[in-house]
Structure 1
């Protein structure tokens, strides 16, 4: 499917639950693009009972998908630097509105993002709140942009769950603690979980990133959180 956004048409992948209807979820990609990994997580959410939309946020950059892991990381970093973040947030908000508008969606709608997408989900929550359309739940996996978005924390009032590894070379623990203090201030409905020995992108199955125990524990927590906040 596609979504009309400012001056463009953004591709998006739709995943329906077995029932054909349910609460809505938007999945925001990693810096590698909409990879098989991101698609697999979308299928996992659909299997839980959610109507899942995955917007292709790199559509203004040719919708490129980069090989995950070390070989693709330099190009992924280039794409992130080329990405228009402000425009991307507008596209991300449009994706949330699009999933809510789906006939298959019953009840609330949430957002989830991984790495690049974890920061995007957080920023979308703040931007959508300004339009009185904040997501009903937010899950952010090691949001890489969060250290630069903390001034938005007071605007993110959605129930939220944050995951970070204690061995994240990209977001060291002093930054993780700073993020925790910001996102929990004034919001009683925030869960902030850390995973001992897990590095950045620990949920990604690439051998370069994957931490099996942290990935498993975080997904169990994610399922529990979503089923509580967005019951199917």
Structure 2
């Protein structure tokens, strides 16, 4: 006889794609929480309890630690940086290899639309473990920082001026590029909203960014795309209809402007497939995408 945990795992594996689509719409402000929960409730007739659905769709950050903050190979700390065109001052999570090689390459790590949560901090640690100096800013710093809750974090981020947030990330990129132990070659990797920020940085500060890896991010404003100079590694999820709808036009502009880009479409995975704290996580696709990311940065930033 199956235990409840085994039964829950079986149910999670069979959750309809619509549930993941509804979560994406909720997470990006297309539907409100009441509508999201109401739609999830409609799946009760199929045998899905709210606890099973919630555990599959909502993050469990206890699962999102591949590199411990006290790993002996890295050193993590927080640093403030000036942002005169943004919110005046920003703050981020800086992670360096314990023995920083002479003039190490630099990677800006950009969070989703909810602030600097534990998953993104872990991504910064993974980058440092691989030999990069990594810096992960928190867009929510002007409001006190990531609140420990994604719903609250999304609400806080929506309340901030989007243009000022973008300026904060531009300032963070310049701050990191000038790091005394860096080689001046800056890469950026971002997820969801962070993927958009990577595209925006490539178009807004082409002289600063040397390489960009947007994970399921929408493109920069059309009038800015002609400025892109850095090579891009674009990571998309086959089931992510919302973001993928923007890709054909973006690709046309990249081709028109002779940008060096590669796009990988990961089959049968959802938006957020790299995030190991939710049921959208796909271990095989996430690992492949991450190894491609590191190879790309080693090629263009060394």
After TM superposition, the score normalised by the length of structure 2 is 0.67
- Computed over aligned residues only, the root mean square deviation of the Cα atoms, in angstroms, reads 2.0
Give the counterpart of 1:134 among 183, 208, 212: 208
Aligned counterparts of 1:213 and 1:182: Cα–Cα separation in 2: 31
Equivalent residues of 1:202, 1:211 under 8 A apart: yes
Q: Is it true that 1:167 corresponds to 2:244 in the alignment? A: no
Please say which of residues 77-86 and 133-142 is displaced more in the overlay: 77-86
| 2:198 paired residue number | 121
Secondary structure of the corresponding residue to residue 183 of structure 2: strand
The total of aligned residue pairs comes to 220
SS at match of 2:242: coil
- The equivalent of 1:14 in structure 2 is 94
Match of 2:230 among 158, 165, 170: 158
Which of 179, 184, 188 is the aligned partner of 1:111? 188
Residues 18, 49 of structure 1: 8 Å contact kept: no
How many Å separate the matches in 2 of 1:162 and 1:216?
15
Asked if structure 1 preserves the Cα contact closer than 8 Å seen for 2:115 and 2:157, the reply is no
1:76 to partner: Cα distance: 4.7
Bigger CA radius of gyration: 2
Using the TM superposition, name which of 77-86 and 51-60 deviates more.
77-86
| Pairwise CA distance, 1:35 | 1.1
Q: Which residue of 2 aligns with 1:49?
A: 131
Identify the residue that residue 185 of structure 1 maps to in structure 2. Answer: 256
Contact 1:27 1:111 in 2 (8 A): yes
Structure 1 residues 66 and 163 mapped into 2: Cα distance closer, same or farther (>3 Å)? farther
1:142-182 deviation line (CA, Å, top 9, x unaligned): 11x42x634322112111111000101432x4433333333
- Structure 1 residue 61: deviation in Å? 3.2
Contact 1:164/1:176 (8 A) holds in 2: no
1:192 deviation in Å?
0.9
The structure whose RCO (Cα within 8 Å, separation 6+) is larger is 1
1:66–1:192 distance in 2 versus 1, CA, 3 Å: farther
User: Which consecutive unaligned segments of at least 5 residues does structure 1 have?
Assistant: none
